[in-house]
Amino acid sequence: MEFPSTSATLETLPNGLSLILDPDPSAPVVSTQLWVETGSIHEGAHLGAGLSHFLEHMVFKGGGDFGPVELAESVQAAGGHWNAYTSFDRTVYYIDGPDTGLTTFLDVLCAMVFKPHLPESEFEKEKDVIRREIDMGLDDPDDRASRLLFSTVFSHDPRRHPVIGYRELFDSITYDDLRRYHRERYSPDHTCLCIAGNFDPDSLRQTIDRVFASLPRSASAEPLIPAEPVQLAPRTNRATFAVPASKVTLGWKIPALGHPDVPAFDLAAAMLGRGRSARLYRKLREERGLALEISSWSWSMANQIGIFAVSAEVQPDQRDALIAAIREELSAFSSSSFEDDMMKAKRQIAATQFRSLTTVSGRATDLASNWHEARDLDFTRRYLAQLEAVTAADVRRALATLTDSRESLTILDPEGVSAPSATRSPTRKRTEPETFTLANGTTIALLPDPKVPVVALQSAVRAGSTSETSQTAGINRLLAAAMPQATRHRSAEELANTLESLGASIGASAGNNSLLLQLAGLSPDLGTLVPLFGEVLSDPALDSDSIDREKASQLTSLRETLQDPLSVAFRHLRQRLFGRHGYGIPTLGNEDSVESLSRLSLAAHHSLHVRGPNLAVALAGDFDPEEARDLLSKAFNELPEGDPWHPEPSEILDPSEDVIHVDKKQAVLAIGYPGSAALDEHRHALRMLNEWASDMAGPLFTRIREDLGLAYQVGATQFHGHDTGLFAFYMATDPAQIELAESELMSEIGKLATGGIPDDAFERVRSTVLSATALDQQAPGSIARHAAIDLLFGLPASHHRELPGIYQKLTPAQVENAAAALLGTRKPVLIRVLPED
């Protein structure tokens, strides 16, 4: 299938602003994105200071006619979901939300990006926030490994520096530096405005002219970006960190985007390390057991050389053997026959690109990225055509350039470890879901949507944390990892080959209440995908070797979470609230319980829970309902019957407090209350309360982060259970400010308990929740997941479509009553995570 040509338009305003419009009336949502062509590589004399990232933070402090509170309130009132990010060569600001808020979104983006106040009174306060963010990055092993790689591969290229900057250089930024950088780099001729979704282009152009036409061009010169010299010898860089396993990457420089070898490198990366059937994964993880995890990737930018790399996690005692094995496999791969693998890789990449078209945000990002990289809105389609034309000889030629002298090896070891020696589908009327039940009790929902030729299958099994004990903690997570590996009729290689040859993917996860299996693929392959999905769910192989490998990975993930202050806080919070059973059991388990899990215990758990009465299945996307009904009936009809499994009632412990010490720099506070059940009458009101407590315009962010500068992270989170749930507040702060931060957070919680959401903010919060609901119901995978989980709790498969009407009817009094019932009836569980010193 050919990637569709875009119908979007590209034009340039007189002041140099690039404008991309992609009207699509199929859903009442829009994505509005401003891509400013400036990032960490453009900082000139301040290279390495993180000036671009700092400016991204500061523009949220108000602009034009909007103060900082008015910015957030205006976006919230219009139902917008906004954020920004900074990378090496761009800073992107975006607002997604209902089409009714488009004019507001444009006014806000223009004001904050091009006319920011940059208040001097906020300068040092926001600096403290970013200092905490820098500290958090230094506590993150993945961030450390990434920094190590880029600083090794590049010797002169500015991408050797972290986007957020180094602490000592960041501290040297002055207020004048910030204003000067904005004046020189934030101009319309450096910017692309991309809008996708439901709008009328003609009337929108008038609004855009009103908002953006008067902005002046920049008169400043482009900064000089040093060129990376040819690498003449191999490079090795190693560091140690508090990680349970070594993180290894072998990387090579490759040409910039646009070079004819780039598609060949992308295909080589997919063949070697994308998916379970990939060469490196199969041979070095599955067959030889050298790697805990392994993948390969290829990354190129326009006018900037890129990187081809193999990344892996490995037990330290197998690190050197794995490095040697990776080199051997790369050498052997070039001389092997891989035409079938290449066809599969082409399908995988094409499927990923097709899925990007299922949401307005994905479409806008694709178009703006095409402009940014190539000034060609159809660049994705042209690139996929180039990819399709790549031959095995092209791949071999490209891989031949990955010589020993151009290799860069980076190793992040645990502390104490020794060093080594076409046209979019026409919009159609949304079809109503259909639900039916098989004789064995399996409930199935069909949710057709012909917009894009993709399908998503989702099953939900009644299990989760409440089906575990202290002895089996983590069993659902391990079962979820082992199930998609192989079936009793297909080996791991056969299963992975079948899926990836179709550009399909399968995965499983475990949550508080369920075990989930999901599959995504292309519509023409439904006849193959449904039987395979049923086979994986009902008849997994669960072989001991596979379980041992996944167990090692789970233990590594568990040990990493035990080093993350926020994860530690919530782990203890749940145990203090629910005890050491039910929702108090950590999803990853503990080291003793995971070590004790066996094939027999996983098979018994699977047999108990994967039965018709415990199972709900949903199919969403482009399919023929009659064909799908027949396929799904055949795939699940043989599941065993029996009585449905029901969890034991939850136990809520008395309120308590605890202090946990970890060897990290920041402090974390977690405050938890028993939340609502999945069918509780207050659950929708608490969604509103959660949004108010988490939003940038809400009381926690504005008071604790903005006014007082006490926290980098502050917000709320919740989950619903079968008979209770969790509603929690969290905050990451400076250890020296923990007492004041805790006092302020408890004060704000007290205000929520007595007043709920203020009347003047209620409609803004409602708009945000409504737009989040609309944005979450675009992609087939998300729709199928909602439907399957709702069916499991006895709700109709169409319940997610009823949510907008439910939120429209909520009143401030209902939310106030829910807040009082949640927060005003008992003391919370309070967990403090502090540095060891």
Distance, C-alpha 196 to centroid of its chain: 21
Terminus-to-terminus CA distance in the chain, angstroms? 60
Confidence (pLDDT) at 422: 37
Q: Could you give the CA distance from residue 309 to residue 407 in angstroms, rounded to a whole number? A: 9
Domains of the chain by range and CATH?
Answer: 9-212 (3.30.830.10), 235-414 (3.30.830.10), 434-636 (3.30.830.10), 657-835 (3.30.830.10)
Global model pTM greater than 0.85: yes
DSSP 165: -
> Does 305 score more than 90 pLDDT?
yes
Separation in Å, CA 475 to CA 245, 460, 589, 601, 656: 22, 16, 7, 8, 28
Residue 5: closest CA among 359, 268, 378, 312: 378
| pLDDT bucket at 421, cuts 50 / 70 / 90 | confident
Angle 200-202-203 from CA coordinates, rounded to 5°: 70
Q: What band does 219 get if pLDDT is binned at 50, 70 and 90?
A: confident
500 Cβ partners below 8 Å, 6+ apart? 274, 275, 276, 277, 278, 344, 345, 347, 348
CA 739 to CA 569: how far, in whole Å?
A: 16
Which whole-number Å values give the CA distances from 303 to 229, 256, 261, 664, in the listed order? Answer: 14, 6, 14, 39
Q: What is the 3-state secondary structure (H, E, C) of 413-454?
A: EECCCCCCCCCCCCCCCCCCCEEEECCCCCEEEEEECCCCCE
Q: Do residues 484 and 506 make contact, with C-beta atoms less than 8 angstroms apart? A: yes
Tell me which DSSP letter residue 302 carries: B
> Comparing C-alpha atoms, which of 789, 753, 204, 238 is closest to residue 511?
789
SS3 label, residue 28: coil
Question: Do the beta carbons of residue 603 and residue 547 sit within 8 Å?
Answer: no
pLDDT recorded at residue 642: 86
Token pair 């400076």: residue: 734
pLDDT in tens, 710-768: 888 999 999 999 999 999 999 999 999 999 999 999 999 999 999 999 999 999 999 99
Residue 429 has pLDDT above 60, yes or no: no
Judged against a pLDDT cut of 60, whether residue 564 lies above it is answered with: yes
> Quick one: average pLDDT of 25-43?
96
Q: What is the pLDDT of residues 585-626, one digit of tens each?
A: 999 999 999 999 999 999 999 999 999 999 999 999 999 999
Could you report the per-residue pLDDT of 789-824, keeping only the tens digit for each? 999 999 999 999 999 999 999 999 999 999 999 999
Res 448: pLDDT: 95
Report yes or no: 583 and 574 within 8 Å, Cβ to Cβ: yes
Average pLDDT over residues 411-438: 75
Residue type, 220: S
> Going by C-beta distance under 8 Å and a sequence separation of 6 or more, which residues neighbour residue 733?
132, 666, 667, 668, 669, 710, 711, 712, 741
Asked if the model's pLDDT at residue 535 lies above 60, the reply is yes
Q: What is the pLDDT of residue 768?
A: 94
Place of tokens 């219009």: 78
If you ran DSSP here, which 8-state letter would residue 646 be given?
A: -
Residues listed for the chain: 837
The single-letter code of the amino acid at 96 is D
* 405-443 as b/e: b if 16+ CB within 10 A: ebbbbbbbbbeebeebeeebeeeeeeeebbbeebebbbb
Residue-averaged pLDDT of the chain: 94
**Helix (H, G, I), strand (E, B), or coil: what is residue 828?**
coil
pLDDT digits (tens, 9 = 90+) for 104-126: 999 999 999 999 999 999 999 99
Q: At 423, is the pLDDT very low, low, confident or very high (cuts 50, 70, 90)?
A: very low
Cα-Cα-Cα-Cα dihedral sign, residues 632, 633, 638, 644: positive
